[in-house]
């Protein structure tokens, strides 16, 4: 009985190997002769106030819809008060 169960388990493993390989291979990104290095476009959006005004919020939403990802926000201060904010975006070329 034990040998029959062992044989069935071995047969099951042998039959599942090609299926597992096929599923794994299809989920793995394929190399089509291109470099695997991703090239990026960058964009800096300056805003003269510290808050997210309606126009700025709309611009950020539009950029997101165009594939831009917000990666950094940098305030510019003068005498301890934020006078400008720079929003940095990137997206793959």
65 lies in a domain? yes
33 lies in a domain? no
Percent of the chain with pLDDT over 70: 56
First to last CA, the chain: 61
The residue-averaged pLDDT of 54-64 equals: 88
Domain count, the chain: 1
Q: How confident is the model at residue 10 (pLDDT cuts 50, 70, 90)?
A: very low
Question: Does residue 23 register a pLDDT over 60?
Answer: no
Question: Does residue 67 register a pLDDT over 50?
Answer: yes
Given this model, what pLDDT does residue 32 score?
54
Residue 38 and residue 91 in contact, taking contact as beta carbons nearer than 8 Å = no
Given this model, what pLDDT does residue 20 score?
36
Classify 48 as helix, strand or coil.
coil
* Structural domain boundaries, residue 83: 2-27+39-92
């Amino acid at each position: 009985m034990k040998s029959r169960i062992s044989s069935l388990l071995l047969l099951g493993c042998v039959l599942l190997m090609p299926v597992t390989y096929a599923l794994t291979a299809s989920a793995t990104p394929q190399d089509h002769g291109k470099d695997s290095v991703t090239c990026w476009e960058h964009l800096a959006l300056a805003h003269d106030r510290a808050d997210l005004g309606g126009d700025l919020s709309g611009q950020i939403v539009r950029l997101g819809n165009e594939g831009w990802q917000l990666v950094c926000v940098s305030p510019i201060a003068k005498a301890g008060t934020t006078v400008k904010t720079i929003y940095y975006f990137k997206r793959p070329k």
